[in-house]
Amino acid sequence: MARHECDVVIIGGGITAAMVSQKLAELRPAWKVIVVEAGKRLFDVENRFSYRQRSLDYGENQWPGDFVADQGARGLISRTMAVGGSALHWGGVCNRFSEEDLRMKSLYGVGVDWPLDLDWTDLEKHYCEAERRLGVSGEDSPLPEDKRSEPYPMPAMTKSFNLIQLESWAEKSGIPFWTTPQAKNTVDGYGGRGKCRRCNTCEICPTGARYSPDWTFKQLLEGKKIELHDQSIVRKLVLDDTTTRIVAARAAKEDGTDDDVEYRARTFVVTSGYCWSSHLLLLSANSRFPNGLANSSDHVGRYMNGHLAYQTTIDLDLKIYPGMNEQHSLISRQFFRCRTDRPYVRHDLRVWENGGGRGPQLRDAGGRLLLGDALVADWRTRLTRGTARVRGYYAVEPDKESRLTLDPAAKNKWGDPLPVIQHRVDQATQLRASATREHFQTLFADLAKANDGRMANVSNLSYQDHPGGGCRMGTDPATSVVTSEGRTHDHENLWVVGSPTLPTGGCTNGTLTFVALALRSTTAIAR
C-alpha cells in the first residue's frame, strides 16, 4: 500500500476544496496539503471550444469523462465526479441568502435556526471574501435589507436588450428587479481569466470568464502549493485505536494503476459535497462508531435539504431576440422577507429571455406542409411577441427523515454500498403546500397582466434543487454533526465543509453561501 503523509488531506476536489486549499495555502504556506479526488482532472483548456461546439452540434458531454461510471446514487441530481466537481457545469449564479435564513425558527417558527455563533455580520464578511475569490460581477440590490459591506468585485454584466425589455415589463407589477450576480468576468484579467464573450454556454465556458474550480487548482499546482491526487476514491476514514482522532484516509485508484493508497495527516477535511460526504462517514463505521464516523448523534445523512420551484412562461407583447444572453437573468429578492401577518412563503423571483414554442414548424395549423419561404413566413407570424421564463425558488424545510442512507442492493466495483437520497419535507411545509401554489399562481398572473401577457401552465420542479445537508451544523452535538465552523462534534481533527453543513436550503442558489461558510471554516482549520 502506498502511503502519503501531509498536514491536511482534503477529500473531494470541487469548488469547496478549491476555496479551502487556496485559502489554506495563503494562511499556512508551510503546510503540506493533498487534495484527493475520485474523478479525473480535465485541465485541457485548449479543447474547450471544441467540446462546446460538439455539445452544440451533437449533444455530446461538454466535459467528456467527468464522471465515474459505477459511482452513482439514486436521488442524485448531478453525476459530475471530476476535479472541479459540479461547478464545472455551474451557471455561475452567486446569490446570497438573507439574514432571515439564519433565524428561521425564531422569526417564522419553521425549520431550525442556524448556530447562534454564526451571525449575519460574520457571514456577510465571508460572502465578500467568496465574491472576491470567485470573481463576482453584480448590481446592488435596491432593497435596504440587502446592504453590502463591500462593493461587488466587478461591475454588473451588461443588461441585454432582452433583459431591458423584460425588466420594463416585470416592474409594471410593482416588484423591483435587477440583474443576478454571477461569477463571470466583466473586466479582462480578473483572477487571470478573460472577459465574458457571451458564448451562451456557461455550462462550459470556453473563455474562462466564468469561474471554474479547475482554474484555482491549476494555479495552486503551478505554484506548488498543493498536491492533487485525482482518480483516487477515498473509501474509508480510519480512527485511531485509542482516541477519537482520525489517523488515515484509505483510497483506491480508479484507474487501477496502483495498489490502495493511505493518506496520513493531522487534519482531515471532507469536501465531497452533499452526497459523498455523508456517504464516506457512513462507510467508515467501525466498532466504536457503528453508525458511521461523526455520527454519535445519528444525524449523518439526515435533514437533506434544497429548495423547490414554481415556474411558468409568459407570452408577452414584446420584441425579444432569444439567444442574446440566455443564461443572464433578472432577480427580485422582495419575497426573501415574508410578512408575519401573511401565510409563510419565502422565495426568490427570476426572469429569463425564452425562445420556447417559437421555433420553426413543418406544418401549418391545418396540417399542411410548409417548405422554403412559406415556412419562414409562418414562423415570423409567431415572432411578433416574446416570451419570458419566470421561476421562483421557494424555501422548504427538511424532515428529519429526509435522508441519505446506504443502499445494500447497489454497490460499486469495490463492493461498497452506494448511497440513496430521499428528500422529504417536514409537516409544516406539506401543510402550506396549497397556499404556496396559490401564492405563485397569483404572483405570476399579476406579472402577466402587463403587456397583454398570457401565462402558460404553472409547474413545480420535480426535485429539490441546489441540494445540501446531511452533516448539518449546530451547537448541540445531539442534533447536529458539525459546529458552525465545520469541525465534527465527535472527532477533533475531522472537518466537513461546504454544502452538507447547511441546516436549511434557503430560497435561492446556495453555492455562494456554502463557499462563504467553507472560507470561514478554513480560518478555523488553519488555527
Q: Which C-beta is closer to another protein: that of 86 or that of 493?
A: 86
Residue number with CB closer to another protein (27 or 376): 376
Q: Strand runs (DSSP E) across 283-437, as ranges?
A: 302-316, 330-332, 349-354, 386-395, 403-411, 417-422
Residue with cell 452538507: 500
Of 77 and 524, CB closest to another protein: 77
Where do contacts with another protein occur on this chain (CB under 8 A)?
54, 56-67, 69, 72-80, 89, 157-161, 164, 186, 195-200, 206-207, 319, 321-325, 355, 359-363, 367, 369, 371-373, 375-376, 379-380, 383, 462-463, 465
Nearer to another protein, 206 or 468 (CB): 206
**Closest separation between CB of residue 121 and another protein, Å?**
34
d(CA 328, CA 348): 15
Q: Please, what is the minimum distance in Å from the beta carbon of residue 470 to another protein?
A: 16
Beta carbon of residue 81, minimum distance to another protein (angstroms, whole number)? 10
Closest CB 116 distance from another protein, rounded Å:
35
Between 211 and 263, name the residue whose CB sits nearer to another protein: 211
**C-alpha–C-alpha distance, residues 43 and 13, integer Å:** 13
Pairing of strands 227-229, 178-179: unpaired
Q: Which is nearer to another protein, 200 or 434 (CB)?
A: 200
Alpha helix ranges (H) inside 150-300: 161-170, 213-222, 273-283
Cell triple for residue 445? 398572473
**Whole-number Å distance between alpha carbons of 82 and 118:** 31
Question: What residue has cell string 484579467?
Answer: 189
Instruction: Please say whether the beta carbons of 474 and 115 come within 8 A.
Output: yes
Pick the closer one to another protein by CB: 100 or 326.
326
Least gap, CB of 137 to another protein (angstroms)? 10
Q: How far is the CB of 53 from another protein (least distance, A)?
A: 8
Query: What sign has the CA pseudo-torsion 279, 283, 288, 291?
Result: positive
In whole angstroms, how close is the CB of 208 to another protein at the nearest point? 12
- The closest alpha carbon to 107, from 370, 337, 442, 324, belongs to 337
In angstroms, the Cα distances linking 72 to 81, 202, 276, 380, 412 are 9, 24, 10, 45, 8
Residue 95: closest CA among 466, 396, 423, 463: 466
Kindly report the length of the chain: 527
Q: Which is nearer to another protein, 60 or 140 (CB)?
A: 60
Residue number, 243 or 361, with CB nearest to another protein: 361
The least distance separating another protein from the CB of residue 379, rounded to whole angstroms, comes to 5
Q: How far apart are CB 461 and another protein at their closest, in Å?
A: 8
In the bound state with another protein, the residue whose beta carbon lies nearer, of 1 and 371, is: 371
Closest CA to 114 of 524, 490, 480: 480
Name the residue nearer to another protein (CB basis): 30 or 409.
409
Of residues 98, 181, 176, the one with CA closest to residue 139? 181
Whether 19 contacts 218, CB under 8 Å: no
Cβ atoms within 10 A of the Cβ of 416, count? 19
Please list, in sequence order, all residues whose beta carbon lies within 8 angstroms of the beta carbon of residue 424, skipping any fewer than 6 positions away: 398, 399, 401, 402, 403
In DSSP terms, 238 is beta-bridged to 248
Nearest approach, Cβ of 205 to another protein (angstroms)?
Answer: 10
- The rounded distance, in Å, linking the Cα atoms of 284 and 293 is 6
Q: How far is the CB of 142 from another protein (least distance, A)?
A: 19
Q: Cβ closer to another protein: 158 or 334?
A: 158
Computed from CA positions of residues 451, 457, 458, 464, in that sequence, does the dihedral angle turn out positive or negative?
negative
380 in helix, strand or coil?
A: helix
CB of 387 to another protein, least distance (A): 13
Closest of 299, 432, 333 to residue 97, by C-alpha = 333
In sequence order, which residues have a C-beta less than 8 Å from that of residue 309 and are 6 or more positions away? 391, 392, 393, 394, 460, 461, 465
Q: Which is nearer to another protein, 109 or 463 (CB)?
A: 463
Residue 97 CB, shortest distance to another protein, in Å, is: 21
